[in-house]
Structure 1
Amino acid sequence: MGALPLCSLLVLLSAVTFPAAESGSVGVNYGRVANNLPPATKVVDLLKSQGITHVKLYDADPSVLRALSNTGIRVVVTLPNEQLSSAAFRPSFALSWIQHNVAAFHPSTLIYAIAVGNEVFVDPRNLTSFLLPAMRNLRASLSRLSLDSNIKLSSPIALTALESSYPPSSASFRPDLAEPVIRPMLDLLRQTQSFLMVNAYPFFAYEANSAVISQDYALFRPNTGIVDAGSGLKYYSLFDAQIDAVYAAMSALKFDDIPVVVSETGWPSKGDAKEIGAGFANAAAYNGNLVRRVLTGNAGTPLRPKADIDVFLFALFNENLKPGPTSERNYGLFYPNEEKVYDIELSLNVGGGGLRWNEERGRGSTGANGGSAGLSTRTTGEKWCVANAAAGKERLQAALDYACGPAGGADCKEIQPGAACYEPNTVEAHATFAFNSYYQKKGRADGSCYFAGAAYVVSEPPKMGKCSLPAGA
């Protein structure tokens, strides 16, 4: 366990103890491909009760926009793919669409962005050629109505727009898209100071490659990490690798200044037998760990460590009419009756104590696909507090020194040189010992295993070589 100079320790502890001044936001995608969802007014009450401040729609339904009026919730509306050609070829249609679906509600409804289509490049109707003309006509309409300074345009792209994504440093856009579409779209985003919307799903990559991708790596859990041979950067999460692949592909086109908004990401709570990894526990782990990272200002990636990122979870509800495999109908955070599918907190202000997430809150009696018959918000059985390698060695070291110092009061004698738990001599292992000592000393109180995202709770004993850690029950 290394020691830090006092001045350095104080600086680092300020970063560990308090969230960054600027952090990303967590929003939800409010899809409505279902016949059993509550009315929009009740949905808005649900959003407010959960502290959700951003919502993305897949259309511009007037009843939903009216329900969101005067709530303070920031809204992304979508021009559906079916209307791309009309917006592309008829400037009058674009103007009318903005007048009826944006100007008629703004600013009472805080519409701040328009998604022009959704994953246009994979739409089987071959709509790619309509995208740029539609964006330009909509932009001209916003300008004509003096809304262009308040409302941004973008278009969510799937990761299939990349020719390659691994390792992240080698990523590039597909040749059929890079010059004809992506470059001019990025130029428009730069001119308008907008952002690129990206739909990123580590679940799909894990499901297809579970033999070679660690589940811990996919779920933001502690893991040994993967080094990008091209950049030398080390990755502890598949999500980071996917986002950095997009950054690298943009950089290859000389666009290094455009922010990324994750317009969709999530993990299904249920799947078919062949959908490896789908299940309640994994969905809770993925979404819960991601929310915690974003809201504590720790969502930077290895390639852009200081870039906070906005994320929209998919989706608000399970949607029973969505076609495709079982997973497609089970991405929701809530059932249509407004009960949580699993228990995670979606804002820093809900629950009276700030954001706290323990993975076992989403674990009940598991069935097929890791599903759970009944999820509890109370933890039972033995539990340990472990270091989160994704926080990085610097943050772990600062939190470790805090836990072992006078303010923390953890018993760290056993991780000193020559002591029983000194090996393995790594920051992660020593931090796990110290965090667990602190956690048990505090009676496993809520929030005592957190350290600003550098730690979390597990219900299985961590592997610590010959050293065993005490557990509370």
Structure 2
Amino acid sequence: MALFVLSLLTLSAISFTHADSGMIGVNYGRIADNLPAPEKVVELLKSQGINRVKLYDTDKSVLTALANSGIKVVVSLPNENLAAASADQSYTDNWVQENVKKYTPATDIEAIAVGNEVFVDPRNTTTYLVQAMKNIQSSLVKFNLDESIKVSSPIALSALANSYPPSSGSFKPDLIEPVIKPMLDLLRKTSSHIMVNAYPFFAYAANADKISLDYALFKENAGNVDSGNGLKYSNLLDAQIDAVFAAMAAVGFNDVKLVVTETGWPSAGDENEIGAGSANAAAYNGGLVKRVLTGNGTPLKPKEPLNVYLFALFNENQKTGPTSERNYGLFYPNENKVYDLPFSAKSTPVNDGKDKVPVKTPSSHVGGQTWCVANGKTTKEKLQEGLDYACGEGGADCRPIQKGATCYDPESLEAHASYAFNSYYQKNARGVGTCDFGGAAYVVSQPPNSWTMSTGNASFQQGTEMGLEEEDPAD
């Protein structure tokens, strides 16, 4: 598997860093045949205020496009290169020369990820990892790049033998001596972070009968108390991270810092992928952004800011595996957002004039008086799918748009979908994630009657008409 999100309109005024808080970046994967050119992607990143990106290779066109962009970059040495990098120092000298030094300082490369989730690589590359990391580090020293560029390697949570409760976190015994200890020793000596890919989605999907969805999605919940140390956890990601911290402490490396190089939630999945969906993806990533930008660490490391790279920038249509693998993107390949996601811990409505969609706060509601309308730019299929859900399983009151009823005219899919979407949105107290329908809807703050799209005689229900009091947008 491989690791941002958005309700992205122009977020150029919103930095991905925040004083005394953690950092948020995005993974730019490219296993697809329909993505924008790298130059367009860089424009998109800059327009959204995204100033950190992680790549899975060192593609020339991408690194060239990122030059002088002000975006900090993590590049990767793919798993298939590990054997050669481990065996020959001259190989890594040449690799660093051609794939790193050539592009700096114009392209601001700040780290090299040596391999990705190597311990679960079917090519059995684990034995090559540490020596490859050491050789890359030596090459950076040779070219005087070791002060500005760090070396690490992303590990999956499957490297843990134990993760619950977090205080009992431990690495798999067969990995400790040959790989974990020497890797952590190198990270300590070079002041580098351990890279961790953590997905609460997988844990929830596999244990939905035991794990609360609200706990996985950063929503209000009763929390869980660690029986080993009494610490209370309000979300699953914190618990996963602290399990890694505990595992490192158990082998004598309590001082190595950590960065989450991948985390995310799929906006679609197969029937057996419990929890996959755009509403949950919006809730998870929105909650995560708020969680990171508040500046608090985990219960075990409360003073260390949480640094995260979201997975992923785009939906990637050539990824293999279940449907979820192709639906982690924050954007569709046409650069439209998959769902709304704020990049501020506070309410920060922003509009670039291209979209009518205001940025939503990560709170449990959208402040002020708002409505949900159909996105006329999406496909008819998406509108119909959303309409069917809202009027069916969603429980929206769609009687007024039945033939002969008061809101049947105008007889258009977009008008009917808007009515149904808004009914569902208001019924669910304008909650975050309740106005997306897979990108087929968005929130507006203007009264519907002022839109250019005619709504005929349909009377859109306002929040106050449904017993909802006006809310302060700053709440």
TM-score above 0.5: yes
State whether residues 267 and 280 of structure 2, in contact with CA within 8 Å, keep that contact through their aligned partners in structure 1: yes
Evaluate the alpha carbon distance shift between residue 376 and residue 36 of structure 1 in structure 2; reply closer, same or farther with a 3 A threshold. farther
TM-score normalised over the length of structure 1: 0.74
What is the CA distance between 1:24 and its match in structure 2?
A: 1.2
Aligned to 2:27: 29
Give, in angstroms, the shift of residue 347 of structure 1. Answer: 5.3
Instruction: Give the Cα separation in 2 of the matches to 1:264 and 1:325.
Output: 18
Asked if 1:381 is matched to 2:426, the reply is yes
CA distance in 2 between counterparts of 1:307 and 1:377 reads: 42
The one-letter amino acid paired with 1:81 is N
Contact 2:73 2:111 in 1 (8 A): yes
Task: State the shift of 1:111 in Å.
Answer: 0.2
- What is the CA distance between 1:179 and its match in structure 2? 1.4
Q: 2:438: which partner in 1?
A: none
Asked if the contact 2:372/2:422 (under 8 Å) is kept, the reply is no
Question: For the Cα contact (< 8 Å) 1:114–1:152, is it kept in 2?
Answer: yes
Q: Is the Cα–Cα contact under 8 Å of residues 116 and 154 in structure 2 kept in the other structure?
A: yes
In the TM superposition, residue 310 of structure 1 has moved relative to its aligned partner by: 1.2
- Name the counterpart of 2:362: 357
Q: Which of the residues 160, 163, 170 maps onto 1:162?
A: 160
- Tell me how far apart the structure 2 counterparts of residues 176 and 119 of structure 1 sit (CA, whole Å): 16
Whole-angstrom CA distance in 1 between matches of 2:349 and 2:88? 46
Distance 1:20 1:80 in 2: 31
2:160 corresponds to 1:133: no
CA distance in 2, matches of 1:40, 1:22: 32
Indicate if the aligned counterparts of 1:74 and 1:110 stay in contact, CA closer than 8 A. yes
Cα 1:97–1:328 change in 2 (3 A) is same
| Separation in 1, partners of 2:49, 2:471 | 26
Query: What residue in structure 2 maps to residue 288 of structure 1?
Result: 286
Contact 2:341–2:360 (Cα < 8 Å) also in 1: no
Alpha-carbon offset, residue 309 of structure 1: 1.7
Question: 1:188: how far off?
Answer: 0.3
Work out the CA distance in 2 between the residues paired with 1:351 and 1:294. 20
Structure 1 residue identity aligned to 2:318: L
User: How far apart in 2 are the matches of 1:158 and 1:382?
Assistant: 40
SS in 2 for 1:276: coil
Aligned partner of 2:406 in structure 1 is none
In structure 2, the residue matched to 1:325 is 322
CA-CA distance at 1:380 after TM superposition: 4.8
Q: Which ranges in structure 2 are unaligned for 5 or more consecutive residues?
A: 1-16, 352-357, 374-385, 395-416, 432-467
CA contact (8 A) 1:343 1:377 kept: no
- Post-superposition CA distance 1:129-159 (Å, at most 9, x none): 1001100100000000000000000000000
* Alignment correspondent of 2:108: 110
Instruction: Confirm or deny: 8 A CA contact 2:340 2:360 kept in the other structure.
Output: no
Per-residue displacement from partner, 1:306-349 (whole Å, max 9, x unpaired)?
11021000000000000000000000000000000001123578
Name the CA shift for 1:250/1:378 in 2 (closer, same or farther; >3 Å).
farther
Match of 1:218 in 2: 216
Kindly indicate whether the alpha-carbon contact (under 8 Å) linking 1:50 and 1:350 is maintained by their aligned counterparts in 2.
no
Q: What is the TM-score with the length of structure 2 in the denominator? A: 0.74
Aligned partner of 2:343 among 346, 350, 358: 346
Distance in structure 1 (CA, Å) of the matches to 2:423 and 2:133? 48
Preserved contact between residue 52 and residue 346 of structure 1 (Cα < 8 Å)? no
Q: CA deviation at 1:296?
A: 2.6
Distance in 1 of aligned mates of 2:49 and 2:423: 21
Of the candidates 304, 307, 312, which is equivalent to residue 309 of structure 2? 312
Other-structure match for 2:43: 45
Shift of 1:256: 1.2
Distance change >3 Å, CA 379–CA 139, structure 1 → 2: farther
C-alpha deviation, 1:356, in angstroms: 2.9
* AA in 1 matched with 2:304: A
Shift of 1:381: 1.9
Maintained 8 Å contact 1:278/1:369:
no
| Closer/same/farther in 2, CA of residues 72 and 347 from structure 1, 3 Å limit | farther
Query: Equivalences for 1:137-286 in 2 at 5 Å?
Result: 137-286=135-284
Would the alpha carbon gap of residues 385 and 325 (structure 1) be closer, same or farther in structure 2, given more than 3 Å must change? closer
Change (3 A) 1:338 1:253: same
Say whether the 8 Å CA contact 1:292–1:355 is kept in structure 2. no
CA shift for structure 1 position 103 = 0.4
Deviations along 1:409-467, one digit per CA (max 9) or x if unpaired, are xxxxxxxxxxxxxxxxxxxxxxxxxxxxxxx88x4243x22xxxxxxxxxxxxxxxxxx
Contact 2:58–2:75 (Cα < 8 Å) also in 1: yes
Aligned to 2:331: 334
Shift in alpha-carbon separation, 1:90–1:355, aligned structure 2, 3 A: farther
Alpha-carbon separation, structure 1, partners of 2:349 and 2:152 = 30
> Greater shift after overlay, 347-356 or 64-73?
347-356
- Give yes or no for contact 1:217–1:223 (8 Å, CA) kept in 2: yes
Partner SS state of residue 135, structure 1: helix
Runs (5+) with no aligned partner, structure 1: 1-18, 387-439, 450-473
Distance 1:133 1:377 in 2: 58
- Whether contact under 8 Å (1:51, 1:347) holds in the other structure is no
Aligned length: 373
Report SS of the residue matched to 2:182.
helix
CA displacement at 1:297 relative to structure 2 = 1.3
Q: Distance in 2 between matches of 1:256 and 1:363?
A: 48
Q: 2:359 & 2:423 partners in 1: Cα distance?
A: 17
| Cα distance in 2, alignment partners of residues 229 and 162 from structure 1 | 19
Question: Counterpart of 2:453?
Answer: none
Task: Output the amino acid matched with 2:312.
Answer: A
- Name the SS for the 1:381 alignment partner: helix
Secondary structure of the residue that 1:55 maps to in structure 2?
strand
- Distance, in Å, in 1 between the alignment partners of 2:350 and 2:82 is 42
Distance 1:270 1:148, change over 3 A: same
Change (3 A) 1:69 1:122: same
